Structure 1
């Protein structure tokens, strides 16, 4: 077999694009063709597939789903760093959590969800911000869950080892407090690794999303930009269902839920715009599509 002659035809690209979209909600337009072709050919070579048809058959019918997960890991982008869009973290501790705790009538844990978690910079940043800047933390139990569709990224997140570039926006005193220098890298402390629960989930899969409920705050930043309109609406519904009544959703700076779904109320704080699940219409909207 001459692997150098492996190529992806136009009809192959379209078949794969539709399949990957159905599985993940991620849509690749023609502008991503080179990116997609390279990774498909990389996996064809790695698995010894002589042509696209052979590889695609395995991808669709492999019982374990292992090859599909490997390809998902290759196709997803994990560009992030600590304290990214820090204004939302300030909004969390200065406004969102104080509002939540003022109206809470019981001592249920406050659940915070980071999706996509990527390699862990965002959920660990949330944990540091809570420890450093939310004085009421000592009075409340907080559960911090971080999820992603990329299992390779999640494993790196659990290891918690980062480059200097990833931590460049962390103040020096916090870097010394929560990280240990290991060669040119920074290892996050064991205490923080223990407080974040990492899980794999596909936001567009209704069955996988069922266990994710009763979150007070969800950070879902810079994910919806990779979806088309239909997938965005599906994701918005799943995020709505995952929030507790009155819970808050934080999106990326270039994303707007107002153009996707009317389920949420827009809340404007000095630091950020967030989207709230209304308390008063929960019973009538909980089953909306």
Structure 2
């Protein structure tokens, strides 16, 4: 897994010593420990922000990630950093870096081929037929935790190559959202390293990427098919604005939530779908005990959840 921290971030804030304003306090050499009581407070704070729940056995993981920001800002304690996030005028900007520190972004192109196969062999045609009966011509797709865009662009590739030639009159809108601004910027740039393209079929790699040195640059036509924006899946107001989607991907996100958060987020995902729409989640995830609203649909080597 890859944790992404932007080492070129501007220094948002540096504390000054009360006795000597020219001297900064805090040091990366100082050993700062996250106490059990402070861990409980931080866990609650992060949970309220975005629904991510750090289990007791993840205390050290949270400590190590928060320390990156504490040392960068030259603060003296976890408590001081929490006050910064709550009360400092630059707290909103710093929360962006907090999200980058605590989220994991492991993804690559064509990560879940069976889901793409389900789209091309059944779901797209079924959805197009239903749209035409209603006199509609647009299919809306949402990558709800898009990370650096590989999932959304993979969908765009199969649409361009396998669906558009058969249904040239159908319009496709693809939206990618994430809580991590750093990975969203990379998604918008469309520039990737070899790791990201390692599972990409040779045909698609040759057709939709340009190689420049160590970089793989995605075709501008695909970039124009996908729009990326910030979204916190735990934000009720913003989530209610995500509506009228025919297909939603929310893979490898629910594993970071407790049951209460899962119920809340899945309810929003259900409401975001049109009737007859499909929800895809990750290999290791299930809606068992979370929602009974969907109908389980089986496909070769994968499943999906359908809103009826």
TM-score normalised by structure 1 residue count:
0.92
2:264 to 226, 231, 234: 234
Q: 1:240 to 1:62 in 2, by over 3 A?
A: farther
Give the drift of 1:101: 1.4
Equivalent position of 1:20 in the other structure? 46
Contact 1:91–1:271, Cα closer than 8 Å, also in 2? no
Partner of 1:75: 102
Name the CA distance, whole Å, in 2 between partners of 1:91 and 1:271.
Answer: 9
Aligned with 1:111: secondary structure? strand
Query: Based on CA coordinates, which of the two structures has the bigger radius of gyration?
Result: 2
Identify which of 108, 115, 119 aligns with 1:88.
115
Structure 1 alignment gaps of length 5 or more: 279-289
1:215 partnered with 2:242: no
Count of residue pairs brought into register by the alignment: 278
Alpha-carbon contact 1:149-1:202 (below 8 Å) kept: yes
Q: 2:166 & 2:271 partners in 1: Cα distance? A: 27
State how far apart, in whole Å, the 1-side matches of 2:166 and 2:268 are.
30
- Whole-angstrom CA distance in 2 between matches of 1:26 and 1:87: 28
> What residue in structure 2 maps to residue 246 of structure 1?
276
Of residues 146, 152, 176, the one that matches 1:123 is 152
Instruction: Spell out the pairing of 1:145-224 with structure 2 (5 A cutoff).
Output: 145-224=175-254
Give the Cα–Cα distance (whole angstroms) in 1 for the partners of residues 288 and 79 of structure 2. 41
Tell me the residue number matched to 1:36: 62
201-210 vs 263-272, which moves further? 263-272
Q: For 1:72 and 1:208, how far apart are their aligned partners in 2?
A: 17
Instruction: Return 63-72 or 243-252, whichever deviates more.
Output: 63-72
- The unaligned stretches of length 5 or more in structure 2 are 1-24
How far does the alpha carbon of each residue in 1:134-181 deviate from its partner, in whole angstroms, 9 at most, with x for none? 243412011000010101110011111111121111122221211111
Shifted more, 186-195 versus 3-12: the winner is 3-12
> For 1:91-113, what per-residue CA distance to the aligned partner results, in whole angstroms no more than 9, with x for missing partners?
01111111111222122411000
Q: Which deviates more from structure 2 when the two are superposed, residues 87-96 or residues 39-48?
A: 39-48
